[in-house]
Structure formats: structure tokens, C-alpha cells
Amino acid sequence: MLLKNTQTQYGIVAKSIHWFMALLIIGMLILGLYMADLPISEEKLQLYGIHKEFGLLILMLVIFRITWRIGNIVPLLPSTIPTWQKFAAHAVHWMLYGFMFALPITGWLMTSAAGLPPSFFGLFTLPSILSPNPVWLKLLENIHSWLAYGLIATFGAHVGAALKHHFINKDDVLRRML
Amino acid sequence: MKLLAGLGLTLLLLPAVTFAVSSWKIVPASSHITFTATQNGAPVTGEFQSFMGEIQGEPTDLKDSHVKIAVDINSVKTSDGDVASTLKTTDWFDSTDFSQAVFTADKFTQTGKNTYTATGTLTMRGETRPVILSFVLNDYSDKSFDVTGKTTLKRTAFGVGQGDWSKTDAIKDDVLVEFTLKASKA
């Protein structure tokens, strides 16, 4: 197993970070949808704390991930795939990257606007990047949740396409990432 | 007879002599009471925007000095409105039933060139506990003075945080209270 990507296969670094982030993001989506409607309680506060620190972890990971991707070749898609599907696949990938940045950054802006900075697993307190402002907070909350819905839809397209390639087209598209 | 009259006069004057320390009036615009609690390992800050005080005393007469500060709990302000409205509920300050927190001190000790401690009690949410404040006398003249100081309170000692909130995992027990007080001679 190679560290770096080849023309036919993703390397171990790309695979590990892909699946690790997939787990984190699914967990964050479930947690985010669950916690937002809870009445104010100690549990809600703790869940928000967890959501914030894992959000920051995702932001750190995606910065590393995009750097790794730029420094690597990307395995080619099978030549049998129509051009529009290749385009769609790449568009979905870049949209996913966009969400992986936009969600933590809007979260960071939200927690700044609320004046409730999070601790990163007790290691340091995240600095605020916005002055506390209730109007901005409301707006950012809306943006953050719409981004989450957008991510869920894009994620559905990504998973659906991977499964279609594996079970219907029976090609190597999913296996490159396994 | 003359002696007796003199003694009587002295006795009459005594209370006046005892309370000859200056009275001071808080300048609200330059006075602040803030607090910093810890939620999920990170600081959360707030402020009590309204408070009143009776201050008698001067640095040269600490033993006759006396302070009483009454804080309007409903004036609590935090950057996130949800935090302030939660703090007013019965689980926290219960500001409907306990609208004031009162600090009184009549023991003052000089600890350094311009540093002091004030020993007294704080009554908050129906509980009275001993509290020691430390403060710095930044400026003092016969017209005005200003001090900055702080103390650390255990919120659960006052029942601030009931039920699940009395657990100190998500919100720590220790709360730092800091103040700036400017007063002018009454």
C-alpha cells in the first residue's frame, strides 16, 4: 500500500483521511441536527462544546487534506464514463471541499458572534474572529444550517454515485478508495 | 460641674467623631462589575450593569470604613442574549425572587503599598457567605478615588445553578468577579 496516490488507486493517506473525515462529518451532522432543537440544558451546552471542538478539528483536517490533494495526482476516472458524469463527479468533490471549509468557518463566526469561544479539547481557547453581535449570530445560524442541508444533499449524490458505480456499473471507482 | 459638662459634651460628640470618615458616591459611568465563568473549558463573560453602594471610609481610617454594594441581578448582560435570559431563571439567579445581591464589608486590611483586602459577606439567591475581595487603590484624593479588584466565588455555594446545572463539568464552580469602582465625595 502506497502513501501517495497513483493513477489507479488512492494512497493510504488520502484513504485514511477520507474515511476518518466521513465518520466525523456524519457524526457532526447528526449531532448538529439533534442538539439545535434541544431546550437549554446542561446536556445541550456540553453537546455544543463537543460540536465546536470537532468542527475545529475538521477545519484543521481539511486544510491538511486539500494540501495533500494539491500535492498528489488524483486517480483517473474510468474512460468509459461520459464527460458530463466526470464533470459532475469533480463538481461534487469540490462542493464537498467547499462545505468542509464553510461549515467550520461559519461555526467559528457563530461562536464568536455569540461571545462563547470554545476550548479545543482543553488545549487552547479559540480566538474570536467577530465581535459579539446578536443580529449576525441569527444570520450565521441560518447560513450554517442551510450549508448543512446543502452538504447532506451533496453527500447523498456522492454516496449514490459511488454505490451506482460499484453495484450497477461494476467498475473500480469505489474500490480505489477502499 | 464644669468638668462634668465637658465630659457630657465629649460623650455627645463621640458618635460624630466615630463617623467622621468620608462618605462617597459611586460614579456609575466609570464603575463596572464583570464576571468570568468557565463553560466547556473556555471563558464566558458578563456584566451587571446596575448597582448601588454606600461607601464610608478612607485609607487612613480603615477600621471605621464600611462598604455596602447592592447589585441589581436583572441588569445582567452577556454577549449572547440566551445566556443572560437563562441566568435570570429560577435554575440560576432566580432574579424574580432574589432581585439583589448584596455585599457588605467592614473589615479592611492593607496588604501592600496601595493594595487592600475587604472581608465581608455576600448575600445572593438567599444564601449568605463570607467573601474576601482584594483590590488596588489606583487613585485617591480628597475628592475622588478609584479601585479595581476581584474575588473568586463558588457559584454552587449560593445555589446559582440548580438541578443538572449544579454539576460542575460543563460549567465550573469557580466564577471570577472583577470590579472597577470610581467614587466621588458625597
Closest to B133 (Cα-Cα) out of B144, B121, B112, B119? B119
In tens, the pLDDT along A120-178 reads 999 999 999 999 899 999 999 999 999 999 999 999 999 999 999 899 988 888 888 88
Range of the domain at A83: 12-177
SS3 B24: strand
Crossing angle of helices A12-36 and A134-167, rounded to 10°:
130
Within a domain: A158: yes
Taking the C-alpha atoms of residue B67 and residue B106, their distance in angstroms, rounded to an integer, is 6
Predicted local distance difference test score (pLDDT) of residue B129: 97
Element (H, E) at B89: none
Of A42, A118, A134, the CB nearest to B81: A134
The number of folded domains in chain A is: 1
Within a domain: A4: no
Q: Is B39 on the interface with A (CB under 8 A)?
A: yes
Task: Provide the residue-wise pLDDT of chain B in tens; the chain has 186 residues.
Answer: 555 565 555 555 554 445 568 899 999 999 999 999 999 999 999 999 999 999 998 888 999 999 999 999 999 999 888 899 999 999 999 999 999 999 999 999 999 999 999 999 999 999 999 999 999 999 999 899 999 999 999 999 999 999 999 999 999 999 999 999 999 998
- Interchain contact, B41 vs A49, CB within 8 Å: yes
Within a domain: A2: no
In tens, the pLDDT along A49-95 reads 999 999 999 999 999 999 999 998 888 888 888 999 999 999 999 99
What is the set of domains in chain B, with CATH numbers?
Answer: 19-185 (2.40.128.110)
CA distance A134 to chain B (A): 7
Predicted local distance difference test score (pLDDT) of residue B35: 97
Of A42, A48, A118, the CB nearest to B164: A42
Question: A136: which chain B residues are within 8 Å (Cβ-Cβ)?
Answer: none
In tens, the pLDDT along B53-72 reads 999 988 889 999 999 999 99
Beta-bridge partners for B52: B70
Q: Extract the runs of DSSP E, i.e. beta strands, from chain A.
A: 119-120, 124-125
Within a domain: A62: yes
C-alpha cell belonging to residue A163: 454505490
Predicted local distance difference test score (pLDDT) of residue A43: 93
Say how far residue B80 (Cα) sits from the centre of its chain. 25
Within a domain: A5: no
Closest to A86 (Cα-Cα) out of A6, A171, A150, A178? A171
DSSP character for A114? T
CA closest to A123 among chain B residues: B41
Contact B99, B72 (CB under 8 A): yes
SS3 A56: helix
Residues in chain B: 186
**Mutation for A interface: B35, B38, B79, most A CBs within 10 A:** B79
- Interchain contact, B39 vs A137, CB within 8 Å: no
Within a domain: A153: yes
Question: B165: which chain A residues are within 8 Å (Cβ-Cβ)?
Answer: 42
Q: Is B154 on the interface with A (CB under 8 A)?
A: no
Question: A140: which chain B residues are within 8 Å (Cβ-Cβ)?
Answer: none
- Interchain contact, B40 vs A41, CB within 8 Å: no
Sign of CA dihedral B160, B117, B59, B57: positive
DSSP character for B171? B
Distance (Å) of CA B169 to CA B100, B124, B174: 27, 22, 11
CA distance A43 to chain B (A): 8
Distance (Å) of CA A114 to CA A94, A167, B116: 30, 47, 36
Inter-chain CB pairs, A–B, below 8 Å? 53
DSSP character for A177? G
Distance (Å) of CA B40 to CA A45, A46, B44, B174: 8, 7, 10, 13
**Mutation for A interface: B36, B38, B40, most A CBs within 10 A:** B40
CA distance A36 to chain B (A): 13
Q: What is the pTM of this model?
A: 0.84
Contact B133, B149 (CB under 8 A): yes
Taking the C-alpha atoms of residue B54 and residue B63, their distance in angstroms, rounded to an integer, is 16
ipTM: 0.79
| pLDDT confidence tier of residue A8, bands split at 50, 70 and 90 | confident
**Mutation for B interface: A37, A43, A45, most B CBs within 10 A:** A45
